[in-house]
A and B are shown apart, each in its own frame.
Chain A
Amino acid sequence: MSALLEVKDLATHFMTRDGVVKAVDGVSFVLEPGKTLAVVGESGSGKSVTALSIMRLIQEPQGRIVSGEILFKGDDIRKMSDSQVRSVRGDRIAMIFQDPMTSLNPVFRVGRQIGESLILHKGMTRKQAFERAVELLEMVGIPHPRDRAKDYPHQFSGGMRQRAMIAMALACDPDILIADEPTTALDVTIQAQILELMMEMQERTGAAIIMITHDLGVVADMADDVMVMYAGKQVEYGTSDRVFYEPRHPYTWGLLASLPRHDVDEKGTLLPITGQPPSLINVPPGCAFHPRCPHARGLCREEVPGLHDVGGGHLTTCPLAPDERPSEAPAQREGA
């Protein structure tokens, strides 16, 4: 029971006109206090839905958590009443969203938006909350925080808005910070600053972070653990070192190979993963990745592979032995 957050076999489905979308289908992971878990995968792999499920922010009735447990400090968030969930949201578990341009309310001053959760969860007065908001803005590196707290979001640049979002999320000193692609909408230089800021904040506050991204490069320095998702399922899960240096799933190889690298060879081309992610309504039988996998064999097309431990808590669904991995050139060379 030492885990801060333990997700067991989570499944979240959306009922649409065309059928049931299994956005998240059997995801399990553990988050220890102060650690960082990176959730990696393509668009539509279920990363964000996993995050929203933890916060219980899935839009009902179309979307529903259909099974699993979300144990926060031992209590199942799924079984909490609405008011219990609200007391966790924003206070113990806070969230940063992808697009800082649209995630702040345009008609309220930044300081007020930051102070809102302090008034709600910490019982502060408006004035106290404003003072605290100024401190928080200063902490996330906004110059002239007292003046800027009185500004509206449109007066902030993209990077500053994301800093404000971080300040807002950290306002109540949460145990867990969920960041849903926090740098995707930003310039590259700003991305680095925001990631640096998040690491700095983690050191200061000791919050655990769930970092959702489609960019493995982003999480390389940051994450303690990495979970790779594909078509709503986790395909690989382990410590950052293991997943980066001994990846066991062809999809992870593909993700790593599609990263731009300037250290290996100058004229090296990027190797995309060919094909498209599958429809989540008609997931291919067997391993969902098999139509795009150059190593797919008979069984891959028939039987859904389960997670198995390949040593040291490193889990993968792929039955491929480590020596079957092509050496330098990762999975997709022949397909590229």
Chain B
Amino acid sequence: MLKYVVRRIFQMIPVFIGVTLILFILRAPGVLPGDPVRMITGERAITEALRLQVIEKHALDQPLHRQYIIYLQNLMRGDLGESYQRGRPVVDIFAEKFPNTLRLALAGIIVEVIIGLTAGIISAVRQYSFLDVLVTLSTSILVSVPVFWLGMLFQIFFGIRLKEWTGGAFYLPISGMSSGEFPDWVHLILPAITLASVSTAYVARIMRSQMLESMGQDYIRTAEAKGLTRRAVTFRHALKNALIPVVTFVGIDFGVMMGGAILTETVFSWPGVGREIFLAVGQRDWPIVMGGVVIIVFLVMIINLLVDLSYALLDPRIRYGGAGE
């Protein structure tokens, strides 16, 4: 088990190198427009001395591979550089934004798990019923709706129209994390549902198909032959088997959400990691973009590892590190 974890951690190194390398090549002069010095100093005219100072500070005069090695060396020390625009360390900026993203991600996962699992199970247990058709149809629509558009629809409906119709008595906040008007958790509702929408639909569909597959297995007939009730057969014997792939999906999805939901955070002005990266791309603030991507890659890899390890708990056939089969 420990061996397996160590091996997996070593496997992360080439991924890191690959990702950072691609980003470095993208920002090389001539690939994307924009002079890095201009990015840092802004549009106003600057003296040659200041220009040289900036180049010196950010090692922009070095050849690209030198710059890359410097970046990696700094990365090892946990230093992601300094934002061009804000003049603050990238690590500090993300440390400030990350809790907001985490909150949104947790809320999103809760929505995804509760609604997705329930819908999937009902749909499988009552196959071809009205509810099943409803779930199948709505999930098909949901997976094909762009997230930002759905977010905007929610804003229009729950934020603006609802306020008009109820004469201002009832509506939901459509931007930001807090206001004097609502408790903080109310601000989470629309962004969390928007963020979770597509994944919830996927969870429902995976759950449904897994449940149906599992209920057709021989061991289900064995369980029925024991005289167990339909409920015990479904929720004890079928569900535990069916959950394994769903846990994978939800786990990986959590990793993705923690990396910041760029679209959702932008639409709802949620001050998280994703929105920060979105703004930085517009301003060509490379250290933030790179730092953000590095953090996301790291988080996704860690979560994937945890998901893989959780298999061993759920599925006894899987044991890591040579024990068992």
Contacts and interface: CB of A to CB of B under 8 A. Distances in A.
Bin the interface of chain B by size.
20 to 34
B323 to A, nearest CB: 11
Contacts of A94: 225-226
A237 interface: no
A120 interface: yes
A155 interface: yes
Interface stretch (A16-24, A85-93, A244-252): A85-93
Given A88-B227, A89-B227, A107-B241, A97 B222 contact: yes
B316 A116 contact: no
B224 interface: yes
Contacts of B222: 95, 97, 103-105, 165, 168
A91 B314 CA distance: 30
Interface string A102-128: 111111110000001100110000000
Interface of A: 55, 57, 86-91, 94-95, 97, 99, 102-109, 116-117, 120-121, 152, 154-155, 165, 168
Contacts of A117: 226-227
Contacts of B47: none
A90 B221 CA distance: 12
Contacts, number: 74
Interface in B270-325: 314-317, 324-325
Contact of A103 (B218, B227, B324): B218
B219 A86 contact: no
B223 interface: yes
Interface of B: 217-219, 221-229, 237, 240-241, 314-317, 324-325
Given A89-B226, A105-B237, A117-B226, 15 more contacts: A55-B225, A57-B224, A57-B225, A86-B227, A86-B228, A88-B227, A95-B225, A103-B218, A103-B222, A106-B219, A106-B315, A116-B223, A152-B317, A154-B325, A165-B222
A165 B317 CA distance: 19
Contacts of A95: 222, 225
Nearest to B228: A120
Given A106-B241, A152-B316, A97 B227 contact: no
Nearest to B223: A105
23 contacts: A57-B221, A57-B225, A89-B225, A94-B226, A95-B222, A95-B225, A97-B218, A97-B221, A97-B222, A104-B222, A105-B223, A105-B237, A106-B241, A106-B316, A106-B317, A108-B240, A116-B228, A117-B226, A120-B226, A120-B227, A120-B228, A152-B316, A154-B317
Contacts of A89: 224-227
A259 B189 CA distance: 71
A102 B219 contact: yes
A89 B222 CA distance: 10
A258 B41 CA distance: 93
A104 B315 CA distance: 14
Nearest to B218: A102
Nearest to A92: B227
Contacts of B219: 102-106
Contacts of A86: 227-229
Nearest to A169: B225
Contacts of B221: 57, 97, 103
Contacts of B227: 86-91, 117, 120-121
A86 B225 CA distance: 8
B111 to A, nearest CB: 27
B237 A154 contact: no
Contacts of B237: 105, 108
A86 B224 CA distance: 8
A99 B218 contact: yes
Q: Which 5 A-B pairs have the closest CB atoms?
A: A90-B227, A90-B226, A89-B227, A102-B218, A152-B316
Nearest to B324: A155
A154 B237 CA distance: 16
A107 B226 contact: no
Of the listed residues B222, B223, B228, B241, the one surrounded by the most CB atoms of chain A closer than 10 A to its CB is B222
A254 to B, nearest CB: 30
Contacts of B240: 105, 107-108
